[in-house]
Amino acid sequence: MKYKIVVDSSSDLKNDYIKDSNIGFEVVPLTIFAGGQDFVDDKNINVDEMLTAMHNSKTKSTTACPSSEYFKSTYEEAENIICITISSKISGTYNSAYLGSTDCNKKVHVVDSKATSGVMQLLVDKTYELMKQDLSFEEITTKIEEYKENLNLFFVLNTFENLVKNGRMSKLVAFVATALYIKPLCIAKDGTIEIYEKPRTIKNALNRLVDSISKKCTNFENRKCIISHCKNEESALFLKEEIQKKYPFKEIVINEMRGLCSFYALEKGVIVSF
């Protein structure tokens, strides 16, 4: 096999997302530890059970990234591999993926998405598109890194509990997000979480999210918008309808979060990537 795309499970994708005999695709699972149980974020994970175990646990729930050896094993079946990971500033997954590539006799390029969820799906889509063209591996890696810099991610959460407990936010951002009577609209900026605006209700935060898309993007016709949610189809559908009214995206899709993103976003959380 000439090409393969590897991505971690914070992308909310499954192994059957790409079916192509010439281009491999594999999702590497992270693991969630909750209530004395290990939940591997693969096709068999039951997100409801994981969330219930977490809520019922008297001890802190945590996550773990895949080992470098696991990543190395995924690189073996192709000549050229592009691996896409969750932001290196909030997870050790990028480091594991990179270490796995250093002890491998294949061409491997590891992409730090500087985000998660839908941004990673957009990077997978673009990588697949480039691999179908008559380009060198070096041209593909250059183009995907350039493409990454134009992607955006907004999110609104009902609670920041797990992000705060697991140190995924700066102390200042965590304080503002949890101590004040607001429901902040947040953004992924250079791989970290920042508060973009400070609405006081979830409804206002969702409306501000829709309005703020125009500040980050002007070319919509060739863009896909991905709305990811954790047990919040109502808000996802509301966002899709409002975004469709204002912006001519090529496509708007709704995804239900899998294990890792559900663990951090928790119920009612929504992420919009474009």
CB 138 within 8 A of CB 173: no
CB 88 within 8 A of CB 95: yes
Q: CA 198, 199, 201, 205 torsion: positive or negative?
A: negative
Which amino acid appears at position 8 of this protein? D
E-state strands within the chain: 3-8, 23-28, 31-34, 37-40, 62-64, 80-85, 107-112, 153-156, 185-189, 192-197, 224-229, 251-256, 270-273
Can you give the residue ranges of every domain in the chain?
A: 3-30+65-148, 153-273
What confidence score (pLDDT) does residue 60 get? 92
CB 35 within 8 A of CB 56: yes
Query: Which helix H or strand E contains 120, and what residues bound it?
Result: helix 117-131
CB 274 within 8 A of CB 249: yes
3-30+65-148 adopts what CATH topology?
Rossmann fold (3.40.50)
Instruction: Looking at the structure, give the CATH architecture of the domain made up of residues 153-273.
Output: 2-Layer Sandwich (3.30)
Tokens of 225: 């918008």
What confidence score (pLDDT) does residue 185 get? 95
Find, among 151, 80, 78, the residue nearest to 117 by Cα: 151
Could you tell me which residues come within 8 angstroms of residue 96 by beta carbon, excluding any fewer than 6 positions away?
65, 66, 67, 68, 70, 71
What confidence score (pLDDT) does residue 181 get? 77
CB 94 within 8 A of CB 28: no
- Report the C-alpha gap between 258 and 265 in whole angstroms: 10
Which amino acid appears at position 60 of this protein? K
For the chain, 274 residues long, give each residue's pLDDT as a single digit of tens: 899 999 999 999 999 999 999 999 999 999 999 999 999 999 999 999 999 999 999 999 999 999 999 999 999 999 999 999 999 999 999 999 999 999 889 999 999 999 999 999 999 999 999 999 989 999 999 999 999 999 999 999 998 888 878 878 776 666 766 767 789 999 999 999 999 999 999 999 999 999 999 999 989 999 999 999 999 999 999 999 999 999 999 999 999 999 999 999 999 999 999 9
pLDDT tens digits along 101-120: 998 899 999 999 999 999 99
CB 78 within 8 A of CB 24: yes
Could you tell me which residues come within 8 angstroms of residue 12 by beta carbon, excluding any fewer than 6 positions away?
117, 118, 120, 121, 228, 255, 256, 257, 258, 261
- Report the C-alpha gap between 64 and 10 in whole angstroms: 12
CB 61 within 8 A of CB 30: no
pLDDT tens digits along 180-205: 778 999 999 999 999 999 999 999 99
